[in-house]
Amino acid sequence: MPQHPDEESFAVIRMDPVAMVRHLNDPEALKAAEALSPQSYLVYLHEHNRLPIWGPEPWYSFDIHLIGPSLRPAHDEQCVTPDMCTPIFPNCDHPAGRAPVHAEPPFPFDNCYFWSGLKMKIRVCPREEGFDWDVTTHMPGRERRVWRDHEVCDEHTQTTAQRARHWQPQPDPVPESRTSDLAPTHPSALQADDSAASPYVDDGTSSLYSDSSSADSCSMIASTDVSSYDTMTEWRRLFMDPVASPEFHPLCHLWGNIAADIKQNEIANPMDFLEARDAVVRIIREARARNPAILPMRAPEDADSKATLTLKWLGKEKPKPKRYRPLKFIRKVGIHVRTLFRIPHIPVWP
């Protein structure tokens, strides 16, 4: 049975807030995480970002797309409209008549959509028994291309609308006396306001920071020039980043049989998942603010050398240890001896 989840497949996830804060050793953070009530969500596993280590992985990093049980709600500030989504067959309902994408085997729910641009990174908890993907629902390559075309089209529409709005005349500024009354003055209020950014932004990792600052998180190291970096140093440095650290990526339990693991009326709104994730991120940041001595989340490592890790990232197999084989050695010596004492061929003319 495969040890890690399968790419390009649908799955059910549930975040584990307690596991996300346990490494902080902070009783207040643990109590706050225990008070949360995680729900189950339907997602599409797009890409597996393999960790640069050998042996068992403490978690699996995935890029996912959240699946919505309805049309995407409009958001005027972000120039998001309800038609920025792709129906999944047998659902054929779309405001602009967009054709649905098909899954194999047929998708078991008739109310689901890909919400364009709503992607993020998660960490998946491993399972001792592995993951049974015999009953997994996949999306064929041709359907993935159709879906990606729709994503690109919606992204272009949103960007065009945002640029058009940017060039419109701006309203008169609010007088300074009024802005001082509206702005939060307590440091904790400033921090809470900063961490509550709109979840409608396609930021690649979370609604708390942009994709450019996240540097693709776990997949960043694999995309760098491994010949010019101390790879393990870069790997450790990622976990010390106060913004891009995988510490903030939701740690989730995952199941692959979506027809058996969730019912249609149980599919939660993706916005609820982003809000729950943001709540855990706030708990982590508050714990670190209370105790600055808390060490960064430890990067998963193993005993392999830099050369071995470089070979892995280049897509090569791990080198096997050399063994002494007497019979093979004797055969090689025999070939060399016959070559040395071979009588050269001298052509004879009649």
pLDDT of 72-96, one tens digit each? 999 988 999 999 999 999 999 999 9
Confidence at residue 215, expressed as pLDDT on a 0 to 100 scale? 31
User: How many percent of the chain have pLDDT more than 70?
Assistant: 69
Q: What angle do CA 327, 333, 338 make, to 5 degrees?
A: 125
Q: Given this model, what pLDDT does residue 303 score?
A: 46
Alpha helices by DSSP H, listed for 141-186, are: 141-166, 176-182
What region does 10 belong to: left with phi over 0, alpha with psi -120 to 50, or beta?
beta
* 131 vs 37, residue with greater confidence: 37
**Residue extents of the structural domains in the chain:** 9-304
Question: Per-residue confidence at 343, pLDDT binned at 50, 70, 90?
Answer: low
Task: Give the count of beta carbons closer than 10 Å to the beta carbon of residue 248.
Answer: 24
Residue 16 has pLDDT above 50, yes or no: yes
* Residue 131's pLDDT band (cuts 50, 70, 90): confident
- For residues 163 and 160, what is the distance between their CA atoms, to the nearest angstrom? 5
Structure tokens at 277: 């994730």
Q: What is the pLDDT of residue 202?
A: 39
Give the C-alpha separation, 54 to 62, whole Å: 18
SS (H, E, C) 23-45: HHCCHHHHHHHHCCCCCEEEEEE
**Structure tokens belonging to residue 329:** 């050695």
Question: Using the 8-state DSSP alphabet, how is residue 84 labeled?
Answer: S
pLDDT computed for residue 348 by the predictor: 57
